[in-house]
Chain A
Amino acid sequence: MNPALTTRYSFGGDEHIFVEIGHEMSLEAFFLGLSITKGLSEARIKGVTEICPANASFQVKYDPDIISPRDLQREIKAIEAGAKRIAASSTEATMLPTRIIEIPVLYNDPWTHETLMRFRERHQEPSLTDLEYAAKINQLGSVDQFITAHSGTPWFVTMVGFVAGLPFLYQMVERPKQLQAPKYLRPRTDTPKLTIGHGGCFSCIYSVRGAGGYQMFGITPVPIYDPQQKISYLREFMVLFRPGDIVKWRAVGREEYDEIERKIGENRYQPLMRPVTFSMRDFNLNHVAYTKKIEGELYGN
């Protein structure tokens, strides 16, 4: 456990407690948040109505007529202390049973391109596309090299939200290699559905069409939110992702994109996904070897 993690509690009005675990992003902060929010769910505290884990923070919504804010804060702090004790004393606490899911991406697609051209005046470098700009500021020689870096390693879902079912994804490489890009100067009023976006160190998949401020890199044909619950793999629940899922992007061409989209339309597409157990300790020992290993589990080699 990273000793630099000092939690900060704040009351969000009379109905929320907001807890920042780290002011900067790290997998350690995410894991501690996941462990505390899991403990909170299991504690089934009366009056708690929403428990929302985020990247390096979490939030609890409660009914102050049932539990007082200060009593609830005390309970959360006790759970936090327990989670930290377990994390310090056992390797089990840093094992996460989860899934790895492959998401095909048509990078540099015509739809996000059309959209980004409409909003150039809100961008840092209007003369470049979002991909060209991201390649440049990450010191990668070309858009192709950027796409290779983006799709070359798996990413962790460290938060679900903003809008229904939108995953925030954190790249599983050492910090100096993480791709970073600022958000648009002013948010766009439009983003195509299923756009792969990037802001700060996070990628995301826009689950619905709407406003957005992240750089746009491509689009996936695979729906991740279906309020009608008609798509076969979203029939049980309308949202695909949950915090802790691991995503592997796979760059596809237009032909394969169209083929997958056709299968989705006929409701006979199933995203490739496999159960994996993520080990923080093994990951920290050797990022490259470990991510290769869990990718191997996805593709069955």
Chain B
Amino acid sequence: MGINILEPGLSTTVQDLGRPGYYHIGIPLSGSMDRYSHHAGNLLVGNDVNAALLEFTFMGPKLEFTRDTVIALTGASMSILVNEVEHDGWQAIPVKAGDVVSFGFLIDGARAYLAIAGGIDVPVVLGSRSTYTLGALGGHQGRKLEAGDSLPLGPPQGGKVRLGKILRPDLRQELPKNVKLRLVTGLYWHRITATSGQKFLADHWKVAPEADRIGYRFRSGRKLEFVPRDPPFGAGSDPSNIVDGCYPYGSVQVPGGTEPIVLHRDAVSGGGYFMLGTVISADMDAIGQLQPHMTARFEAVSLDQALAARYDYFARLDALRGYLA
């Protein structure tokens, strides 16, 4: 084995970079919500970037290691303690068999990542080790971790372990309290009036408590106004209903026109609510680091701006790789 779970934290799951190819039967990508932090953690401990690690929300677990290895904490800001001795995140830390690792209080962000040299060696299901809890699939028995669970580790993966090197601040994930989420409007944007669309983009939206790996719900903006219509056959009578269709990752649905929901890595793959646009891929990580009550605004961008932002995102990943090469 490799790790015994002494305390599980609030919601701790095994994740890699996801399970593409099954969205057409309702099985979402899954994988780490903050993919940048996921990459950084694995690179620090010398893993392939797709290696499975632990993602935990708001609160860290307490772990006992049963073999010598190297670990790195990235993502949300909190301290990491090895046998009660405090360390900073964003660096590789050696641990020995018998060491107990725990975490300090959450300071900023929402999700932290613990990468472990060798990666977590749970079975590969449909091409991935990621946990999809709604479908009880992948990860450790398809669920979040519980006290008493044991996780196996894989053999070292041959990459360079960067002991003693702490990641430059500009190469760490940013964890702002207010974010601007860039959005390509479209899909069923035409269902709301032009004025209502402007209000949607102008309002400050607060993250609601119902925010998880499936989607982030926002509230406290103004209610949307719909363009009047005769309900199309099969859609349902509410003005926010459509004939059930697919939901893009990052798409923003607004059931009843009141509270927008941005779908994330464990997205429901489709349904009957209209969507007014899609958050660009480069801004998806930032959503995973939002805590309830933080605020976000939606900024409309063109497809070309979305592609430029994507290019910048990958350039930043390249810089990270270069720094840790």
Contacts and interface: CB of A to CB of B under 8 A. Distances in A.
Contact of B26 (A22, A58, A160, A175): A160
B306 A14 contact: yes
A16 interface: yes
B245 A18 contact: yes
A23 B253 CA distance: 17
Task: Give the contact-size bracket for chain B.
Answer: 35 or more
Given A14-B306, A20-B245, A160-B26, A25 B233 contact: yes
Given A50-B20, A64-B307, A164-B135, A15 B248 contact: yes
B280 A14 contact: yes
Interface string B215-245: 0000000000000000011111110011111
B26 A24 contact: no
A158 B184 CA distance: 28
Contacts of A221: none
Interface stretch (B114-122, B162-170, B200-208, B266-274): B266-274
A141 interface: no
B36 interface: no
B272 A161 contact: no
Contacts of B236: 182-183, 199-200
B34 to A, nearest CB: 17
Interface stretch (A5-13, A126-134, A147-155, A274-282): A5-13
Nearest to B132: A164
A47 B81 CA distance: 43
Contacts of B242: 23
Contacts of B234: 24-25, 55-56, 170, 180, 200-202
Given A12-B248, A13-B248, A52-B23, A163 B135 contact: yes
Interface centre among A10, A13, A22, A64 (most CB of B within 10 A): A13
A192 interface: no
Contacts of A49: 20-21
Contact of A161 (B24, B255, B309): B24
Contacts of A238: 137
Interface in A70-122: none
Interface string B300-325: 00010011011000100000000000
A128 to B, nearest CB: 17
25 contacts: A12-B184, A13-B183, A13-B278, A13-B279, A13-B281, A14-B303, A15-B248, A23-B232, A24-B232, A24-B235, A49-B21, A54-B244, A57-B246, A59-B245, A59-B248, A69-B303, A161-B25, A161-B26, A161-B269, A164-B27, A165-B27, A183-B272, A187-B255, A225-B135, A227-B136
A208 B280 CA distance: 30
B235 A16 contact: no
A202 B233 CA distance: 11
B35 to A, nearest CB: 13
Interface of A: 10-16, 18, 20, 22-26, 49-59, 61, 64-65, 69, 159-166, 168, 170, 175, 180, 182-183, 186-187, 199-202, 207-208, 210, 213, 225, 227, 238-239, 242
Contacts of A58: 246
B137 A227 contact: yes
A210 to B, nearest CB: 6
A166 B26 contact: yes
Nearest to A23: B232
Interface centre among B136, B142, B233 (most CB of A within 10 A): B233
B184 A14 contact: yes
B250 interface: yes
